[in-house]
Amino acid sequence: MNVIKLCFATRNKHKLEEVQAMLPQGIQLVGLDDIGCREELAEDFQTLEENSMQKAAYVYRHYHVPCFADDSGLEIDALDGRPGADSAHYAGPQRSHSDNIDKVLRELTGISNRDARFRCVITLAGANRLVSQEHEEYRQFTGVLEGEILPGREGTGGFGYDPIFIPKGFNKGLATLGMDEKNQISHRGRALRMLSNYLLQDA
């Protein structure tokens, strides 16, 4: 089998290992540090699609390696789609998961509509059937996990907003699920499967 090597636009080693474990053996990942990218990648936009594209385009244009970048967020219907692209720093620049959860729960006080979804958008640049660097073309893959916001925290697993999210069709919260079970249904897992299917269909 031909091995496809890609840069995943992250310097978080845990995230890199987690995503690698979710991909087939035919796809091998390196991180930003491995290609010598030390600068922080900007996320200047208000949509997951634009932020994901911005990061992938920067790495591809400046380092000339096949790469992909992701951006994820929680979208709550009663909050007009917030926190969305601001999910990581919804309660402020400290990027505290606990503070973010507290803010969401406060804003939903007295609101019966708890419908929400996690969305992950992956942008791929410069790999497999994409054209050369002279013709910049990108492909995006979107994974969605529908569910509801719980009235309070449940479970100790996961991260981010997992303790207050219950997936559609489940009777327990996301933070109570094992990692394998979560990866099967997660928004990132679904987007990654779309990415790997695209990359391997001609391999």
Describe the strand order of the beta sheet including 4-8 as a list of residue ranges: 27-30, 4-8, 67-76, 115-125, 138-149, 165-167
Confidence class for position 1, pLDDT limits 50, 70, 90: low
Please tell me the least confidently modeled range out of 20-34, 132-146, 157-171: 132-146
pLDDT of residue 133: 44
pLDDT higher than 70, residue 130: no
CATH number of the domain encompassing residue 171 = 3.90.950.10
pLDDT higher than 90, residue 159: no
User: Does the bond joining 83 to the residue before it have cis omega, within 30 degrees of 0?
Assistant: yes
Q: What is the pLDDT of residues 56-94, one digit of tens each?
A: 999 999 999 999 999 999 999 999 999 999 999 999 999
pLDDT of residue 127: 67
The 3-state DSSP composition of the chain as helix, strand, coil percent (nearest 5) reads 35, 25, 40
Q: Which of 15-24, 45-54, 131-140, 193-202 has the highest mean pLDDT?
A: 45-54
Report residue 94 CA to chain centroid gap: 20
> Considering 33, 44, 70, 71, which one is annotated as catalytic?
71
Query: How many domains is the chain built from?
Result: 1
pLDDT higher than 70, residue 128: no
Report residue 43 CA to chain centroid gap: 13
Please tell me the least confidently modeled range out of 14-28, 29-43, 59-73, 119-133: 119-133
The reported pTM is 0.92
Can you list the alpha helix ranges (DSSP code H) found in 64-200? 97-107, 179-185, 187-200
Burial state string for 60-92 with b = 16 or more CB within 10 A and e = fewer than 16:
beeeebbbbbbbbbbbbeebebbbbbebbebbe
Average pLDDT over residues 109-133: 83
Q: What is the pLDDT of residues 87-120, one digit of tens each?
A: 999 999 999 999 999 999 999 999 999 999 999 9
Distance CA 61, CA 123 (A): 14
Tell me, yes or no, if 71 is annotated catalytic: yes
**Domain ranges, residue 192:** 4-200
Which residues sit opposite 144 in a β-bridge? Answer: 119
Q: What is the pLDDT of residues 31-41, one digit of tens each?
A: 999 999 999 99
Give the list of residues 6+ apart from residue 48 with CB closer than 8 angstroms, or none: 71, 72, 73, 84, 85, 119, 120, 121
